[in-house]
Structure 1
Amino acid sequence: MQIACPTCDKRLQIADEKLPTDRKVRITCPACQENFTYNPDGTALLSVVPRTETPPQPESAPSEPTTNQPTADPVETPPAKSAALPVPTLNLDVLEAGPPPRVLVCVDDAAQRRDYDEILATLGFSTVHIMEEQVQAMTYLTQVAYDVVILDAKFDGSTLEANPVLACVSEIPMEQRRRMYVAVCADEKYTYDAIGAYSQGVNLFFSYTDGREALRTLEHGMADHKRLYRIYWDVCQELGKE
């Protein structure tokens, strides 16, 4: 898709699958460095970072000069703050975020991060993105095509019932979601609960107590996932839909 910068009219070529279909996204033009918002319905490109200016004061009718009257300094009214939630900035550099296969890791524990970074590389992943906060994770998740997502249910203060990153996963288009294997680390009662995983829209639940052994289970789960969809992708390719 080509998107024109409303400031300098530069044409930006962005793949359709990189743009979210259910929310606005902020784009930084690489030519003029101005920010603007892309509306997913394609009807408007609106500036989202207006320049701060003092609102024009209405002109008053001239009056007769008076004497012995106190004068007051004019008071500038600050611009009203927008009540809208901020949208993730679409950084064009992020779109070229390493070769596939890619994995997104959202965990808080530093030791677990090191384990994932080390072991995932041995499993053949070319790119491992380790996130530090929810907004960063959602920004990457909506802009980069991942093969695997590993998410701690308690990542960045969230819970399994109220997890913004997990909600973001559920909004990914199904064509892309079928190519993604999502594993969630949760309390032990959820461990390897296939029905529970299905109800949450993920592929695997594993426990905090599994440690490094969970990655062995993850490896088997990814292999099963590929086998499950192999025939589906072959048929799509034969029908010209791949």
Structure 2
Amino acid sequence: MGEDGMVLVCDGCDASFRIPDGKVPPGKTVGMTCPKCGHRSSFTAPSAGNGWHEDSSGPVQESTSDKDVERKSFSSLVFAEEEGDLALVCVEDPELQRQIQKALELMEYQVIAVKEPHEALKNLRMHTCKLVMVHESFGGGESSERNPVLLYLERLPMSMRREMFALMLSERHSTLDSLVAFIRSVNMVMNVRHLPDFEGLLRQGLADHQRFYEVFLDALKESGRG
């Protein structure tokens, strides 16, 4: 490890990434989602006198040369502790964003909070987000029809879309409005007035989502397509 940090190599696609010194506390085990192939690996930051190592499949390559190393900004990678799923929060209002982030962290999510559409789309392309919360007017003015995140989610292949739970925050629509949820291709609509009941509503929605896809996948298996 030098002044430029340590080189880690993804065991899914062999892409190399340089991790700046001090980004991860010594001895801390973190998960990394590779932005190129989506493979998740676990790494442990070095304690004094030790080097980085990958927990799942042996040592990570260390290099003092810049050859074949893809220099990416560390901010483009998300390190999340193993016990937490990633949640992407797309809300422009700082106070609303703070409330949501606090509630999700209490639910043990690792939260990525963004205020700009390009940040949201970059993270959706690079990471596997189990939960996506987006305000109806995020990046699209008054109309949710121009919301770039909602449009992105609408166009995802079903094999990818069913792996995430999408919640649209609204100032206009009622909480649990199933027609609006269907039209906007989200799993749940929540009016901001009901944020005090956020955790209970979200847990119920997640449970319903899981039950639905368990039945769906069982049906695919029975038909020979699963």
Q: TM-score range by the shorter chain?
A: 0.5 to 0.7
Q: Which deviations, in whole Å up to 9, do the C-alpha atoms of 1:62-83 show, x marking residues without a partner?
A: xxxxxxxxxxxxxxxxxxxxxx
- Match of 1:179, SS state, is coil
Please say if residues 192 and 206 of structure 1, whose CA atoms lie closer than 8 Å, have aligned partners that are also in contact. yes
In our comparison, the structure showing a higher alpha carbon Rg is: 1
The structure-2 alpha-carbon separation of the partners of 1:93 and 1:113, relative to structure 1 and needing over 3 Å to count, comes to closer
Q: Indicate which of 114, 121, 126 corresponds to 1:131.
A: 114
Please say if residues 35 and 127 of structure 2, whose CA atoms lie closer than 8 Å, have aligned partners that are also in contact. no
1:124 CA displacement: 3.0
Structure 2 counterpart of 1:15, one-letter code: C
Q: Indicate which of 114, 124, 129 corresponds to 1:141.
A: 124
Please say if residues 35 and 77 of structure 2, whose CA atoms lie closer than 8 Å, have aligned partners that are also in contact. no
- Match of 1:146, SS state, is coil
Give the TM-score normalised by the residue count of structure 2: 0.61
Separation of aligned partners in 2, 1:92 and 1:235: 42
Structure 2 counterpart of 1:230, one-letter code: E
The structure-2 alpha-carbon separation of the partners of 1:32 and 1:118, relative to structure 1 and needing over 3 Å to count, comes to closer
**Equivalent position of 1:117 in the other structure:** 101
Give the TM-score normalised by the residue count of structure 1: 0.58
Matched, 1:182 2:220: no
Separation of aligned partners in 2, 1:30 and 1:223: 45
Separation of aligned partners in 2, 1:192 and 1:220: 11
Please say if residues 2 and 13 of structure 1, whose CA atoms lie closer than 8 Å, have aligned partners that are also in contact. no
Matched, 1:152 2:171: no
The structure-2 alpha-carbon separation of the partners of 1:238 and 1:118, relative to structure 1 and needing over 3 Å to count, comes to farther
Q: Which deviations, in whole Å up to 9, do the C-alpha atoms of 1:130-167 show, x marking residues without a partner?
A: 01211000110111111111101122453312111111
Task: List runs of 5+ in structure 2 lacking aligned partners.
Answer: 1-11, 16-33, 41-66
Q: Indicate which of 186, 196, 213 corresponds to 2:197.
A: 213
Please say if residues 90 and 113 of structure 2, whose CA atoms lie closer than 8 Å, have aligned partners that are also in contact. yes
**Equivalent position of 1:225 in the other structure:** 209
Please say if residues 104 and 149 of structure 1, whose CA atoms lie closer than 8 Å, have aligned partners that are also in contact. yes
**Aligned residues: percent identity?**
24
**Equivalent position of 2:69 in the other structure:** 31
Task: List runs of 5+ in structure 1 lacking aligned partners.
Answer: 5-11, 19-28, 34-89
Separation of aligned partners in 2, 1:184 and 1:113: 13
Separation of aligned partners in 1, 2:213 and 2:168: 21
Q: Which deviations, in whole Å up to 9, do the C-alpha atoms of 1:32-81 show, x marking residues without a partner?
A: 64xxxxxxxxxxxxxxxxxxxxxxxxxxxxxxxxxxxxxxxxxxxxxxxx
